[in-house]
Structure 1
Amino acid sequence: MRKWSPLIAVCLGTFMLLVDVTIVNVALPDMAVDLRTSFSALQWVVDGYALALAALLMGAGGLADRIGHRLVYLAGLVVFALASLACGLAPDPTVLIVSRVVQGVGGAAMIATTFALLNGSYTGRERGMAYGMWAAVSGASSAVGPLIGGPLTEGLSWRWIFFVNLPVSAVAIALGLRVLRDGQARHARRIDVVGVVVFSAAIGSVTFGMVSAGEHGWGAPSCWPALCAGAALLLTFLVVETRTAEPLLEPSLLRNRVFSGVLLAALLLNFAAYVSLTYSSIWMQSVLRLTPVTAGLVALPMSGAAFAASALLGRVMHRLRPGNMIAGGILLVGVGDLLGFALVHAWSSWPALLPGFFVVGLGVGLATPPLSSTGTAAVPAQRAGMAGGAIYTARQAGVAFGIALLGSVFTAGAHHTLAGRHIESSGSAAHDVAGARSADLLRSAPAGSRHLLDEAIHAAAANGIAALLAVAGLVGVAGALISFLMLRERPTPETAAEARPERVLAE
């Protein structure tokens, strides 16, 4: 048992930070009621965490190379634990969002150091076993998030989805101090501070513009300036990276069609696959009045299918073309979303989601395993860590952009239905529906009109979900086509042989 203590220390951290990606979904309606928050604030509760992970992961890796992976990992655990405490105690939405961002900072430090710590603790066959166990924990973490969050939210409070991190963090820190060690010499590597700042500002601006569009409409004064500023900052980031001796991401890698294709595939996969869970949870709890536990169980077909598909794929993956697996998996995700669109209508309930979720899960299980291995095999071995970090960053950016953009689609679908029934013209009622405040909307209506309003809310929320699934499905189909065209070639034998699987970053 002592031999596997470093693996346990690393897996505890991985479990927490990946559970926190999905555990929040089932608690969002209770957060909205307790904190009386807006729809855009709910979006930032999810996006703040994802953006911090996406923006800081590559920079955290550079810092760890300079001052030590063990130190950065343990510091990340401390930051994550303190931020979890702040989330649980948050008296208002602003404190909660800021605390979620800080959680993401700690999570980025933990992800960036995982493989270096495993490399320092294991060699040979034991290293392979350690990677296999870590991958199993990673795959299970996202799947069990809703299952853990439901009982905690229903039995105690939404605040306990964050408080539960504290004892796990304490064990991980105590164990890490005793058993973890750095496996390689530190490098006097220059940290690309300018690159981190510009990239963070770029994806933050794009996300802010999308969230603003969902809250105030695409004609809002704050929408297009933020989107344009984000695009300009992304171009600035590329220019800065060409002039930096040790960049976060070498622009020359983007000229590699396979690597660029993997980045696009990673972003579009997460965009199409995971965002529907967030808004479906709001629909199921605030409109259909399911309990948090039941809403969490609805996600089981997706997580179960993903786990089973990945497990079965591992036995035959070496015989298949990775580009076809990635493209086929994203196509299944798109088909699953479109199946949900076809089944969800004005009077649908939660069973309408199950077939689509199952197909989406199969797609995730097919596409995820070859993503990082294909991307890192397409670049020189000395850039494998950089490539793996970029792929994980793209996946988290897909979640952040999806939450922001598909939120506006959900609201627009709800508004169209309510306006068609002459319930509203301004869009405020649609934002109440999307923001898990349907009960408040009903209570504020005259008693004689509540029945008709309740019917309209049910139809509006279902149509909003259907519209969201339609857009996500089309994105999935487009992502599959892009992946098929860009990933037709195998990585060159030279780089494939050089790339080290232990450098791969995967969820």
Structure 2
Amino acid sequence: MRKWGPLTAVCLGTFMLLLDVTIVVVAVPDMAPALDASLSDVQWVIDGYALALAALLLGIGAAADVVGRRRVQVAGTAVFALASLGCGLATSAEFLVAARAVQGLGAAAMFATTLPLLGAAYQGKDRSVALGVWGAVSGGAAALGPIVGGLLTAGPGWRWIFFVNLPVSVAAIWLTLRLLPPSRPGVRGAGGRRVDWAGTAMFALFVGAVTYGVVRAGAVGWGSAATAVTFAVAALALSAFVAVERRVAHPLLDLRLLREPAFTGVLVGAIGTNMAAFGLMPYLSIWLQTVLGMSAVRGSLALVPLAGLSFVVAAVSGRLLHGVSARYVIGVGLLLIGAGGCALATLDADSSWPALIPGLSVTGVGAGLVSPGLAGAALAAVPPANAGTAGGAVNTCRQLGYALGVAVFGTVLTSRMADALGQDAAHTAAGGGAGALRGAFSEHSVRAAFASGLNGASLMAGVTGLVAGVAVLVMVRAKRTGGAGQAPAAPSGAPGTAAAGERVGA
């Protein structure tokens, strides 16, 4: 237990925080009416967590190097636990959204410190084993989220998808304090290293404004003044972020890395992967439960082809494809994700859950190919000194891709449904209130409209995956021998190396 105790402590926290990215997907149809939540509320319950995680990951990773990684890990877990309690006790959609954002803050502190803690606890072959286990746990958590959420929602109720985090958090804190040695603060700050808080704030404002603009555009229109102002704020925040990063001594993101086409291509692939593969899941779950009338458990099981194949393929592809260029593994995987999205765009008013199997299966295989190789490809594309930034940037882009996918596909879904049902009814149906429309519309009309909306969103997901796949194939070129399977391990002191263990052959 002493030898593998640190791995157990880190994996327990990682599993919990990544499970919460997708665990709410199946609970939305029960959650929305209980809190009188609108479509935008539903989107923010999902996106608030993912956005906080994406926006703060790099900044908190750098801060952990200054103040101590174990200290940040424990503090993040405590914040996560308290926010989870708030989520479970929420009496309004607004309170739940706020609590989810705080939960994402705690998750970012946990996630940013996981790989540096493992790097400090293990060396040599033990480190390789630890990173491999961590990578498998990370992939399994996202895949199991909807299933665990369905079981808890159908059993004790949707609030327990948050309450269950409390005992797990206590166990994670106890194991961390007992089994992980305290990290020495200021390891990289002895030379005057400072946390780039200005860059962190500008990046958080940028991703928040972009996502808010997309979510609100579905309700107020893409050409409205409110949408234009929001996107203008996002553009100014991005400009300010670039200006800050060029001037500070220790930038959050070394912008010179973006001049490397291979690194930029991997970041495009990271955004495209989570956007195309997982951004549609909340709306598929709403369709299964509120339109087809399936229970939360049956609705979650209908998504098993995606979750199950993603997990299995990720587990075996590292060994079967060892030595194969990450360019081809990731590029082909994204093309499969795109093909799966296009295959989902074939629904009609008479479709039922089996119609999802082909598309979800192809998407699951593609996601299983892509996930293990993304971080390794990013690390291979940059000098070893930038390994921490590379790993953190990939993880940030993956969470950002998921948040944007939920926002963009929700807008596409409602705009297609509005053609048949009207704007208000479309937002009601997309937010999980399809049952309330059956007095004003026939069941066939609601089913046809929702199917049309899902087809539009699925097609956009498919195009996203295909474009990202082509970008990876064109931009990513191996600079050193060995491909993704031989990517160097992130240094133990690197901030934000949350994805460094996800590599082919781990």
Q: Shorter-normalised TM-score: what interval?
A: over 0.9
1:322 aligns with 326
1:302 aligns with 306
1:46 aligns with 46
Q: Is the 8 A contact 1:417 1:463 kept in 2?
A: no
1: CA distance between counterparts of 2:350 and 2:330? 35
1:464 aligns with 453
Q: Deviations over 1:346-377 (max 9, x none)?
A: 22111111110000000001111111101111
Q: Percent identity?
A: 46
1:91 aligns with 91
Deviation at 1:262, TM superposition (A): 0.5
2:467 aligns with 478
Out of 448, 453, 473, the position equivalent to 2:442 is 453
1:2 aligns with 2
Deviation at 1:494, TM superposition (A): 11
State whether structure 2 residue 253 is matched by structure 1 residue 261: no
Q: Give secondary structure in 1 for the equivalent of 2:27.
A: helix
1:382 aligns with 385
Deviation at 1:493, TM superposition (A): 5.2
1: CA distance between counterparts of 2:248 and 2:99? 32
Q: Is the 8 A contact 1:379 1:495 kept in 2?
A: no
Q: Is the 8 A contact 1:406 1:468 kept in 2?
A: yes
2: CA distance between counterparts of 1:257 and 1:317? 24
Change in Cα spacing, 1:495 to 1:328, as seen in structure 2 (3 Å) is closer
Q: What one-letter code is carried by the residue in structure 1 that aligns with 2:287?
A: W
Q: Is the 8 A contact 1:375 1:388 kept in 2?
A: yes
1:360 aligns with 363
1: CA distance between counterparts of 2:19 and 2:276? 19
Out of 294, 297, 300, the position equivalent to 1:290 is 294
2: CA distance between counterparts of 1:38 and 1:85? 22
Deviation at 1:231, TM superposition (A): 2.2
State whether structure 2 residue 433 is matched by structure 1 residue 440: no
Moved more, 224-233 or 108-117: 224-233
2: CA distance between counterparts of 1:170 and 1:494? 41
Q: Is the 8 A contact 1:374 1:491 kept in 2?
A: no
Q: Is the 8 A contact 1:22 1:142 kept in 2?
A: yes
Q: Deviations over 1:10-31 (max 9, x none)?
A: 1110011010011000001111
Out of 398, 404, 407, the position equivalent to 2:401 is 398
Q: Is the 8 A contact 2:387 2:491 kept in 1?
A: no
Q: Which has the higher contact order (CA 8 A, sep 6+)?
A: 2
1:14-93 correspondence runs (5 A): 14-93=14-93
1:449 aligns with none
1: CA distance between counterparts of 2:121 and 2:329? 32
1:93-492 correspondence runs (5 A): 93-182=93-182, 186-188=187-189, 189-342=193-346, 344-418=347-421, 424=422, 427-443=423-439, 445=440, 453-487=442-476, 489-492=477-480
Q: Is the 8 A contact 1:273 1:364 kept in 2?
A: yes
Q: Give secondary structure in 1 for the equivalent of 2:211.
A: helix
Deviation at 1:441, TM superposition (A): 2.4
Q: Deviations over 1:265-306 (max 9, x none)?
A: 100111111011111001111111110001111111111111
2: CA distance between counterparts of 1:465 and 1:159? 27
Q: Is the 8 A contact 1:117 1:182 kept in 2?
A: no
Deviation at 1:237, TM superposition (A): 0.9
TM-score by length of 2: 0.94
User: Over aligned residue pairs, what C-alpha RMSD do you find?
Assistant: 1.7
TM-score by length of 1: 0.94
Change in Cα spacing, 1:498 to 1:310, as seen in structure 2 (3 Å) is closer
Q: Is the 8 A contact 1:121 1:183 kept in 2?
A: no
2: CA distance between counterparts of 1:3 and 1:209? 48
Q: Give secondary structure in 2 for the equivalent of 1:396.
A: helix
2: CA distance between counterparts of 1:320 and 1:94? 47
2: CA distance between counterparts of 1:498 and 1:10? 22
Change in Cα spacing, 1:80 to 1:373, as seen in structure 2 (3 Å) is same
Change in Cα spacing, 1:241 to 1:84, as seen in structure 2 (3 Å) is same
Q: What one-letter code is carried by the residue in structure 1 that aligns with 2:273?
A: L
Q: Deviations over 1:188-223 (max 9, x none)?
A: 220001000000001111111100111222133211
1: CA distance between counterparts of 2:249 and 2:483? 23
2: CA distance between counterparts of 1:155 and 1:437? 21
Deviation at 1:184, TM superposition (A): 6.0
Q: What one-letter code is carried by the residue in structure 1 that aligns with 2:385?
A: Q
Total equivalences in the alignment: 491
Deviation at 1:183, TM superposition (A): 5.3
Q: What one-letter code is carried by the residue in structure 1 that aligns with 2:393?
A: A
Q: What one-letter code is carried by the residue in structure 2 that aligns with 1:363?
A: G
Q: Is the 8 A contact 1:116 1:183 kept in 2?
A: no
